[in-house]
Structure 1
Amino acid sequence: MGRNTRKRRTPLATKVIAGAAALAIGGGGLVWANFYASAHEKNGGHNVTKSRQSQIATINCPDVGLELSDVPERAREGVAKELALLDKQITDAYTRLADTRRAQAGDSNFVANAILGPLKSKRTATLDRISINIKRVGGQAPDDLDRLAECQGVPADQTGNGGGGQDGGQDGGQDGGQDGGDNGNGAAGPFAEDFINIKDVQPNSRDLQNGLAANGDTGSTGSFTTRCGVNENNLFNSDNIIVAPGVDNGAHHTHDYVGNQGNTAFASDEDLANADTTCQNQNDKSTYYWPVLRLQDGTQEFDANDLGGGAEGNVGKILKAEQAEIKFVGNKAGDVVAMPKFIRIITGDAKAFTNGLANANTSFSCTGFEDRQVTDKYVICPEGSQVVRTSNFQSCWDGQNIDSANHRDHVAFVREDGSCPDGFQAIPQLQVRLVYDVPAPTIENGQIKNPYAVDGFPEQLHKPITDHNDFINVMDDDLMNQVVQCINSGRDCE
């Protein structure tokens, strides 16, 4: 598969991982070599036994970005770069965790002393620079940022229930994928416990308040559909212009892009406004992007050795959506107002596995079964049915800001009755429905064979709860007004 993106640098740490990847199925990923080998491994003539409870599976660090709700505009670029550095530090520490299993087996304090301790020191220095950036322009930095420096190791027996807060999964299936076939990325997941047969999901059982549909039979009942294709131009990169502007590989995973074709971490609003678009209506230059879905079948994709791709555990064949339905709908409580140009909205949380569910918004289903939505599992669909990912975005706006320091506070999810929080007003709700032709994975002896998974930060272990979706509105004013008129008048427009 081709790509329309720049070539990424390959640092030393990436080369080390890529070299080890030859041990894995298909070879191009982050390998947790001998993750459980220490359980019965002879070391100097002694049989070393380690319980799975004592194995540290991943790293849970406080999400600093969510704590920074009051960053002056002039400090945001510098703060964003420091936040991206915090993400890189976690990735590097996770890589070291994956690369030192033998040393960990012989020293119960290895992770604390050699990985978590140095990580805390690096994070402390970065947090200090964040404070300096804020204070330099007259802002007030939190006095206790240092409390966010320390990270925790998540034991293997906790990775099924979210480690840092996510409450999903069953205990029995964790060994699947770790003791046996590694699907190309060692123990980085997904595991058998991360999947469920769609027929075992109860109808109307979606368990997240976030991401409810804002529309209904009352209020503003119209819709506007924009047709932007399914990334036929193969525009992929691992940037995140919203969270990490000006930072190469700020997402640490690869995104699909439809709509705006100028979306890189270095694009200005002017660049986005002047870029080409894949949308049929050329007045919609909005950027719609989401983490790619991959089949972990050993395929060497274009990014098999790149940061954001195989070098960070995102391995296998990229599955392009068969359909990408992008629709704006109204609000069951009343009319909507125009959303401002260049507003940024992130729905879902790429770190929900360690952050918990506060911002999680995932929905997996199968065609023919879309009254059954599941939030913390990937679905196994019957023959003839396709996998569906649905994202209903926040549709309440504070009326002033196109972004906020933590990229959350300027928008809010609609309440069940369609109302918005005090001080917020209803805007058109973006709904994205992605349909994929995915070979159904199988579970044998507690192990998942040929699983699929969304790309993510490596320490998030490809958990389905981390799925997310991103949007920047780059419609011209006339088109946005048309969207609002169609929705408020009850018409269905394209």
Structure 2
Amino acid sequence: MGRNTRKRRTPLAAKAIAASAALALGGGGLIWANFYASAHESNNQSWGGNQTKAATAQVATISCPDVGQKLTNVPWRARQGVATELGNLDRQITEAYNRLASTRDAQSKDPSFVQNSIVGPLKDKRSATIDRIRIDIQRVGGSFDNALKQLAACTTQTADQTTSGGGGNNTGQQQNGGQQNNNGNTAAPSASASAGQAQNIGGQAGNGPVAADFVDITKVAPNVQGKPATTGNASTGTFTTRCGVNANKNHNTDNVIVAPGVTNGAHHLHDYVGNQKVNAFSSNQTFLQGGTSCQNRNDLSAYYWPVVRVQDGSQDFDQNADGGGKEGNVGKILTPVQAQIKYVGSPAAKVVAMPQFLRIITGDAKTTTNGLANANAHWSCTGFENKVQLTQQYPICPQGSKVVRTFAFQSCWDGQNIDSANHRTHVAFADPASGVCPNGFKAIPQLTMRLVYNITPPTIQNGQVKNAYAVDGFPEQLHKPATDHDDFISVTTGGLANRIANCINRGQNCA
């Protein structure tokens, strides 16, 4: 997705922006494949089933520029066509990744195989797709930046040439959503160091995570800073909506915001609560007829996030499906034991009601490629949430403590658009120091989400992680914690949007 130039960075967030591994708009990826270990081998291999696969073979990488990051001005009449083509770019990367994983013998015998049989053809496909994007935009009178044609080529890298944050792509500023991020990675070696030394990318499916993606939270220094002071015009209330934990297992691998009309547009599995009819082909009218898992029947909003899996050698229903095991998302799917959805106010202003059908994506599913500019992952443990929040590592929680994922969405709206071409620029984060929205933006109720999981703590043995857990993601993104993200479509009836805003503005705590 495109950079949001209105972002601010806190000192701790700035420290967190070191090299690190909707949801990013399609077209970019970092492709890894073990030369001698297929990314999709079955789970009953000699490595033991519950241990990250160790291999000493050379690892190949291909880094593809993210075209969607650069598309910030697409006419509405061209957006469906452009979204379809961006979905094609993602599919092409996935196919190239699978080819890398399945041709290890040929690669070992022919040093030019990757370039001639994978990278070259991939460039040709991407060039044709980018040109179709140009045609879609110009057909309706829009302007196209011809420099985008240069984004067709992908580059090859070995593991020790890469970093977990996308190397030179790690520019821009981090969105912290009003929470303070720190990677805490001084307690463990970097993911890139691990990959370079062990020459593997770990994980039950061969595409991560690695040991360096985990840290004992008790060994991380406190990094959470205080919130902005409230002003006399602050909106201090809260509104909680109870929508369940997806106990009915409403899942799919679509991505209706970023890739409408594209089946398996996310290439990973989502949990859905709230609106019950959300898929690639849903429309605003569909949402109004979708029913809801929320206790408040007027809340038809869609709340969805990537599932978390435990990589203990187990399989789930999608082991052989697109977006699941076929794309490196393996292991037992974990249902949260608690999912708290709460709207909060602004420390600096009254809020206006969210417009109907507002779309917001927080975080970036492609930080391994794009860098941490839009990362908004927050990982912690019960008992530590007010002290430690992690962006670039998963926490290993002490006995009796649960894993917590939290999200704080953008809380400023441009007052006009329910979406934007890159799904970023119509919303923004408030200044983390003052809580004030950027010029031209209005404060809206800030959606916050807190997901709690019962997870047996992983263990690190001889540089390998056993019983790892990880968030689902695009197969080339290596299951890095920084790729965590959350999606939201505001759909309400019966005046609920106004009731939420009024409750918050009056300083009440409503549900």
Q: Structure 1 length normalisation: TM-score?
A: 0.86
Determine the C-alpha separation between the residues in 2 that align with 1:102 and 1:36: 15
Determine the C-alpha separation between the residues in 2 that align with 1:342 and 1:25: 50
Match for residue 107 of structure 1 among 85, 106, 110: 110
Which residue identity is paired with 1:203? P
Q: 1:98 aligns to what SS in structure 2?
A: helix
Q: 1:18: how far off?
A: 9.5
Identity of aligned residues (%): 58
Q: Which moved more, 1:246-255 or 1:151-160?
A: 151-160
Judge conservation of contact 2:359–2:490 (CA < 8 Å) in 1: yes
Q: 2:105 aligns to what SS in structure 1?
A: helix
Give 5+ residue unaligned stretches, structure 1. Answer: 1-16, 38-51, 207-211
Q: 2:288 aligns to what SS in structure 1?
A: helix
Q: Please list, as runs of the form range in 1=range in 2, the aligned pairs for 1:452-491 lying within 5 A after superposition.
A: 452-476=469-493, 478-491=495-508
Determine the C-alpha separation between the residues in 1 that align with 2:198 and 2:314: 18
Match of 1:184 in 2: 204
Q: 1:70: how far off?
A: 0.9
Determine whether 1:256 maps to 2:276.
no
Q: Please list, as runs of the form range in 1=range in 2, the aligned pairs for 1:258-277 lying within 5 A after superposition.
A: 258-277=273-292
Match for residue 396 of structure 1 among 407, 412, 415: 412
Q: 2:470 aligns to what SS in structure 1?
A: strand
- Gap change, CA 1:177 and 1:293, over 3 Å in 2: farther
Structure number with higher relative contact order (C-alpha < 8 Å, ≥ 6 residues apart) = 2
Match of 1:116 in 2: 119
Determine the C-alpha separation between the residues in 2 that align with 1:195 and 1:73: 42
Judge conservation of contact 1:239–1:249 (CA < 8 Å) in 2: yes
Match of 2:463 in 1: 446
Match for residue 36 of structure 1 among 48, 56, 64: 56
Determine the C-alpha separation between the residues in 2 that align with 1:135 and 1:489: 48
Q: 1:179: how far off?
A: 5.8
Q: 1:161 aligns to what SS in structure 2?
A: coil
Judge conservation of contact 2:378–2:405 (CA < 8 Å) in 1: yes
Determine the C-alpha separation between the residues in 2 that align with 1:419 and 1:468: 24
Judge conservation of contact 1:261–1:277 (CA < 8 Å) in 2: yes
Judge conservation of contact 2:203–2:210 (CA < 8 Å) in 1: no
CA-to-aligned-CA distance 1:58-96 (integer Å, 9 cap, x gap): 332111112111111111111100000000001111111
Match of 1:134 in 2: 137
Match of 1:199 in 2: 218
Match for residue 296 of structure 1 among 289, 304, 311: 311
- Gap change, CA 1:276 and 1:122, over 3 Å in 2: same
Match of 2:424 in 1: 408
Judge conservation of contact 2:310–2:333 (CA < 8 Å) in 1: yes
Match of 1:379 in 2: 395
Determine the C-alpha separation between the residues in 1 that align with 2:114 and 2:285: 46
Which residue identity is paired with 2:42? A
Q: 1:66 aligns to what SS in structure 2?
A: helix
Give 5+ residue unaligned stretches, structure 2. Answer: 1-37, 171-182
CA-to-aligned-CA distance 1:415-446 (integer Å, 9 cap, x gap): 11111111111111000110000110000000
CA-to-aligned-CA distance 1:282-319 (integer Å, 9 cap, x gap): 00000000000000112221111000000000000001
Q: 1:216: how far off?
A: 5.3
CA-to-aligned-CA distance 1:438-480 (integer Å, 9 cap, x gap): 1100000000001000000000010111000000000126111
Match of 1:43 in 2: none
Q: 2:380 aligns to what SS in structure 1?
A: strand
Judge conservation of contact 1:456–1:462 (CA < 8 Å) in 2: yes
Q: 1:490 aligns to what SS in structure 2?
A: coil
Determine the C-alpha separation between the residues in 2 that align with 1:131 and 1:257: 34
Tell me the C-alpha RMSD between the 2 structures. 2.6
Match for residue 363 of structure 2 among 348, 351, 363: 348
Determine the C-alpha separation between the residues in 2 that align with 1:67 and 1:262: 31
Q: 1:85 aligns to what SS in structure 2?
A: helix
Determine the C-alpha separation between the residues in 2 that align with 1:215 and 1:336: 17
Determine the C-alpha separation between the residues in 1 that align with 2:448 and 2:466: 32
